[in-house]
Amino acid sequence: MTDEFSVAHPCADCGISTSSTGNIFKVTDDLWQRVAVANRKVPAAYLCLNCVEIILERKLMPGDFSEDMVNFSYRFPRNALLIERMGARFEELRARYVESENALPIMWYWLSFADEEKGFLGVAIVRARSIDEAITRAWELGINPGGEVQSSKFEQAPEFEAYENQLLDKTQLEDAGLI
Ligand SMILES: [Zn+2]
């Protein structure tokens, strides 16, 4: 099974990349209807925080954010303003999620990092219960180089054991016969 997350996700109003500026969030359905669907010929696919607040003529508040995973996953970087607007909402959603996650089996995660400027940044191999825990674990271990992540997970992966909790570059991956 593969999770993928990339591309620019441009704001429909100002055109900035919402994903590379830490502008990934979901508001409640009602609010999205108001800012992104009503009064538009074409509904917006993405809007940045700034443009949502311009349309609303007010700041976003914790209660405006939905329970969607993008609002509590470590997979999605948030800029300082978004973190401020979410307030305690992030911790609240995250705590609930972590509780439900504790019941999941531990799997091997292959995390491949890349960014637009530098390209491929390396692969981290960790064991975790979810993609989110895997990314958090990589941060804690200091083996998460940032950028965008693509992941694959495996129930059994004996070939990973010697490389657990390491960040591997292309040469190391080739030498290890992993790519
Ligand atoms: Zn915008």
Domain's final residue, options 64, 99, 134: 99
Q: Is residue 1 part of a domain?
A: no
Domain's final residue, options 99, 125, 151: 99
The Cα 167–Cα 124 span in angstroms is 4
Query: Are both 75 and 27 inside the same structural domain?
Result: yes
Q: Treating both helix axes as pointing N-terminal to C-terminal, what angle do 131-140 and 89-101 enclose, rounded to 10 degrees?
A: 110
Domain's final residue, options 72, 99, 126: 99
Spell out which residues have Cβ within 5 A of ligand 1, the ion.
Answer: 11, 13-14, 48, 51
- Predicted confidence at residue 105, as pLDDT, reads 92
Query: Are both 76 and 142 inside the same structural domain?
Result: no
Query: Are both 87 and 34 inside the same structural domain?
Result: yes
- 3-class SS of residue 127: strand
Which is it for strands 2-3 and 148-154: parallel, antiparallel or unpaired?
A: antiparallel
To 10 degrees, the CA torsion angle through 99, 104, 106, 111?
Answer: -80
Distance 54 CA to ligand 1 centre (A): 9
Distance 80 CA to ligand 1 centre (A): 16
Query: Are both 95 and 111 inside the same structural domain?
Result: no
Distance 62 CA to ligand 1 centre (A): 19
Are the C-beta atoms of residues 11 and 25 closer than 8 Å to each other? no
pLDDT digit of tens for each residue in the chain (179 aa)?
333 444 489 999 999 999 889 999 999 999 999 999 999 999 999 999 999 999 999 999 999 999 999 999 888 889 999 999 999 999 999 999 888 888 889 999 999 999 988 999 999 999 999 888 899 899 999 999 988 899 999 999 999 999 999 999 999 999 999 99
Distance 10 CA to ligand 1 centre (A): 8
The Cα 82–Cα 14 span in angstroms is 17
Are the C-beta atoms of residues 18 and 11 closer than 8 Å to each other? yes
- Predicted confidence at residue 74, as pLDDT, reads 83
Number of domains in the chain: 2
- Both tokens assigned to 14: 């100002």
- Predicted confidence at residue 5, as pLDDT, reads 45
- Predicted confidence at residue 132, as pLDDT, reads 87
Q: Which helix (H) or strand (E) holds 101?
A: helix 89-101
Query: Are both 40 and 91 inside the same structural domain?
Result: yes
Number of Cβ atoms within 10 Å of the Cβ of 175 = 11
Number of Cβ atoms within 10 Å of the Cβ of 169 = 13
Query: Are both 90 and 112 inside the same structural domain?
Result: no
Domain that holds residue 122: 107-175
- Predicted confidence at residue 4, as pLDDT, reads 41
Distance 46 CA to ligand 1 centre (A): 8
Are the C-beta atoms of residues 61 and 25 closer than 8 Å to each other? no
